[in-house]
Amino acid sequence: MSLKAFQDYYPDHVSHCYGCGRLNEHGLRIKSYWEGDETVCRFEPKPYHIAVPGSVYGGLIASLIDCHGTGSAAAYAYRTEGREMDSEPSLRFVTASLRVDYLRPTPLGVVLELRAQAKEIKDRKVVVGIRVIAEGEVCCQGEVVAVRLREV
Protein backbone atom coordinates (compact mmCIF):
# COMPACT_ATOMS: atom_id res chain seq x y z
CA MET A 1 0.00 0.00 0.00
CA SER A 2 1.37 3.39 -1.00
CA LEU A 3 1.62 5.98 1.76
CA LYS A 4 0.04 8.58 -0.47
CA ALA A 5 -3.60 8.09 -1.42
CA PHE A 6 -4.95 8.68 -4.94
CA GLN A 7 -6.76 11.77 -3.67
CA ASP A 8 -3.51 13.25 -2.35
CA TYR A 9 -2.35 13.66 -5.95
CA TYR A 10 -5.35 15.77 -7.01
CA PRO A 11 -4.32 19.35 -7.80
CA ASP A 12 -5.34 21.83 -5.08
CA HIS A 13 -8.06 23.57 -7.11
CA VAL A 14 -9.96 20.27 -7.53
CA SER A 15 -9.37 19.05 -3.96
CA HIS A 16 -12.42 20.50 -2.22
CA CYS A 17 -14.86 17.68 -2.97
CA TYR A 18 -17.07 16.92 0.03
CA GLY A 19 -16.40 13.22 -0.35
CA CYS A 20 -12.70 13.07 -1.11
CA GLY A 21 -11.15 16.52 -1.14
CA ARG A 22 -8.24 16.76 1.28
CA LEU A 23 -8.92 20.53 1.50
CA ASN A 24 -12.59 20.24 2.54
CA GLU A 25 -12.54 20.41 6.32
CA HIS A 26 -16.26 19.54 6.55
CA GLY A 27 -15.97 16.58 4.21
CA LEU A 28 -15.45 12.83 4.44
CA ARG A 29 -11.87 12.94 3.11
CA ILE A 30 -11.89 9.35 1.90
CA LYS A 31 -8.58 7.81 0.84
CA SER A 32 -8.05 5.18 -1.84
CA TYR A 33 -5.03 2.96 -2.47
CA TRP A 34 -3.85 0.14 -4.67
CA GLU A 35 -3.85 -3.35 -3.22
CA GLY A 36 -2.61 -5.60 -6.00
CA ASP A 37 -4.88 -5.13 -8.99
CA GLU A 38 -7.74 -3.80 -6.89
CA THR A 39 -8.22 -0.45 -5.25
CA VAL A 40 -9.28 -0.19 -1.63
CA CYS A 41 -10.82 2.47 0.57
CA ARG A 42 -11.49 1.96 4.27
CA PHE A 43 -13.87 4.24 6.12
CA GLU A 44 -15.58 4.11 9.47
CA PRO A 45 -18.91 5.93 9.43
CA LYS A 46 -19.74 8.21 12.35
CA PRO A 47 -22.57 7.19 14.70
CA TYR A 48 -24.77 9.85 13.12
CA HIS A 49 -24.31 8.30 9.64
CA ILE A 50 -27.29 6.13 10.49
CA ALA A 51 -30.26 4.96 8.42
CA VAL A 52 -32.59 2.82 10.51
CA PRO A 53 -31.10 1.72 13.87
CA GLY A 54 -27.91 -0.34 13.46
CA SER A 55 -27.47 0.37 9.75
CA VAL A 56 -25.28 2.77 7.79
CA TYR A 57 -27.04 5.48 5.83
CA GLY A 58 -27.40 4.54 2.15
CA GLY A 59 -26.55 8.04 0.96
CA LEU A 60 -23.22 7.83 2.76
CA ILE A 61 -22.52 4.50 1.08
CA ALA A 62 -23.39 6.06 -2.28
CA SER A 63 -20.96 8.89 -1.48
CA LEU A 64 -18.14 6.49 -0.64
CA ILE A 65 -18.80 4.53 -3.84
CA ASP A 66 -18.92 7.74 -5.85
CA CYS A 67 -15.56 9.09 -4.67
CA HIS A 68 -13.75 5.77 -4.46
CA GLY A 69 -15.04 5.19 -7.99
CA THR A 70 -13.70 8.42 -9.47
CA GLY A 71 -10.42 8.07 -7.58
CA SER A 72 -10.01 4.52 -8.83
CA ALA A 73 -10.89 5.62 -12.36
CA ALA A 74 -7.99 8.09 -12.24
CA ALA A 75 -5.62 5.47 -10.84
CA TYR A 76 -6.53 2.96 -13.57
CA ALA A 77 -6.18 5.66 -16.25
CA TYR A 78 -2.67 6.59 -15.08
CA ARG A 79 -1.72 2.93 -14.93
CA THR A 80 -3.07 2.31 -18.43
CA GLU A 81 -0.92 5.18 -19.66
CA GLY A 82 2.07 3.75 -17.78
CA ARG A 83 2.41 6.92 -15.71
CA GLU A 84 2.79 7.75 -12.04
CA MET A 85 0.03 9.80 -10.43
CA ASP A 86 2.34 12.73 -9.84
CA SER A 87 3.14 13.06 -13.55
CA GLU A 88 1.60 15.63 -15.91
CA PRO A 89 -1.01 16.09 -17.25
CA SER A 90 -3.18 15.54 -14.17
CA LEU A 91 -6.17 13.25 -14.63
CA ARG A 92 -9.36 13.99 -12.69
CA PHE A 93 -12.60 12.11 -13.19
CA VAL A 94 -16.20 13.02 -12.37
CA THR A 95 -19.26 10.78 -12.15
CA ALA A 96 -21.60 10.44 -15.11
CA SER A 97 -23.73 7.77 -13.48
CA LEU A 98 -23.87 5.87 -10.23
CA ARG A 99 -25.68 2.70 -9.28
CA VAL A 100 -25.86 1.09 -5.86
CA ASP A 101 -27.54 -2.19 -4.95
CA TYR A 102 -28.11 -2.50 -1.22
CA LEU A 103 -27.92 -6.26 -0.75
CA ARG A 104 -28.28 -6.35 3.03
CA PRO A 105 -28.14 -3.80 5.87
CA THR A 106 -24.61 -2.41 6.30
CA PRO A 107 -23.77 -2.54 10.01
CA LEU A 108 -22.89 0.69 11.78
CA GLY A 109 -19.90 0.78 14.14
CA VAL A 110 -17.33 -1.07 12.04
CA VAL A 111 -14.80 -0.10 9.39
CA LEU A 112 -16.19 -0.51 5.88
CA GLU A 113 -13.95 -1.74 3.10
CA LEU A 114 -14.63 -0.72 -0.48
CA ARG A 115 -12.86 -2.83 -3.09
CA ALA A 116 -12.97 -1.74 -6.72
CA GLN A 117 -11.93 -2.97 -10.13
CA ALA A 118 -12.14 -1.29 -13.53
CA LYS A 119 -14.66 -3.05 -15.78
CA GLU A 120 -13.98 -0.87 -18.81
CA ILE A 121 -11.29 1.66 -19.70
CA LYS A 122 -11.94 3.51 -22.92
CA ASP A 123 -10.85 7.00 -24.00
CA ARG A 124 -12.20 9.39 -21.38
CA LYS A 125 -14.52 6.84 -19.76
CA VAL A 126 -13.75 4.35 -17.00
CA VAL A 127 -16.41 2.05 -15.55
CA VAL A 128 -15.62 0.90 -12.02
CA GLY A 129 -17.31 -1.92 -10.11
CA ILE A 130 -17.22 -1.63 -6.32
CA ARG A 131 -18.06 -3.93 -3.42
CA VAL A 132 -18.79 -2.59 0.05
CA ILE A 133 -17.69 -5.11 2.67
CA ALA A 134 -18.42 -5.11 6.40
CA GLU A 135 -17.19 -7.83 8.72
CA GLY A 136 -16.28 -10.00 5.72
CA GLU A 137 -19.68 -9.76 4.04
CA VAL A 138 -20.52 -7.89 0.86
CA CYS A 139 -23.35 -5.55 1.87
CA CYS A 140 -23.59 -3.41 -1.27
CA GLN A 141 -22.49 -3.49 -4.86
CA GLY A 142 -21.94 -0.34 -6.85
CA GLU A 143 -20.97 0.83 -10.29
CA VAL A 144 -19.59 4.22 -11.26
CA VAL A 145 -19.31 5.46 -14.81
CA ALA A 146 -16.55 8.02 -14.52
CA VAL A 147 -15.60 10.56 -17.18
CA ARG A 148 -12.30 12.41 -17.32
CA LEU A 149 -12.45 16.20 -17.12
CA ARG A 150 -11.06 17.72 -20.30
CA GLU A 151 -9.12 20.32 -18.37
CA VAL A 152 -7.82 20.15 -14.82
CB of 50 to its own copies, least distance (A): 5
53 binding its own copies? (CB under 8 A): yes
In the chain, what is the straight-line distance between the N-terminal and C-terminal CA atoms, in Å?
Answer: 26
Among 38, 42, 79, 102, the residue binding its own copies under the rule CB under 8 A is 102
Report the alpha-carbon distance of residue 7 to residue 136 in Å, rounded: 26
Nearer to its own copies, 58 or 117 (CB): 58
Q: Closer to its own copies at the Cβ: 13 or 122?
A: 13
57 binds its own copies (CB under 8 A): yes
Contacts from 41-50 at CB under 8 Å and sequence distance 24+? 41/67, 41/68, 41/71, 41/113, 41/114, 41/116, 42/111, 42/112, 42/113, 42/114, 43/111, 43/112, 43/114, 44/110, 44/111, 44/112, 45/108, 45/112, 47/108, 47/109, 49/108, 50/108
Smaller CB separation from its own copies, 39 or 55: 55
Residue 134 found at the interface with its own copies (CB under 8 A): no
The yes or no reply on residue 138 touching its own copies (CB under 8 A) is no
Of 92, 80, 68, nearest in space to 142 by CA: 68
Q: Does 7 bind its own copies (CB under 8 A)?
A: no
Q: Using the rule CB under 8 A, give the single segment among 1-9, 32-40, 78-86, 91-99 that binds its own copies.
A: 91-99
Residues contributing to the site for its own copies (CB under 8 A): 13-14, 16-19, 21, 24-27, 46, 48-53, 57-60, 62-64, 66-67, 92, 94-102, 149
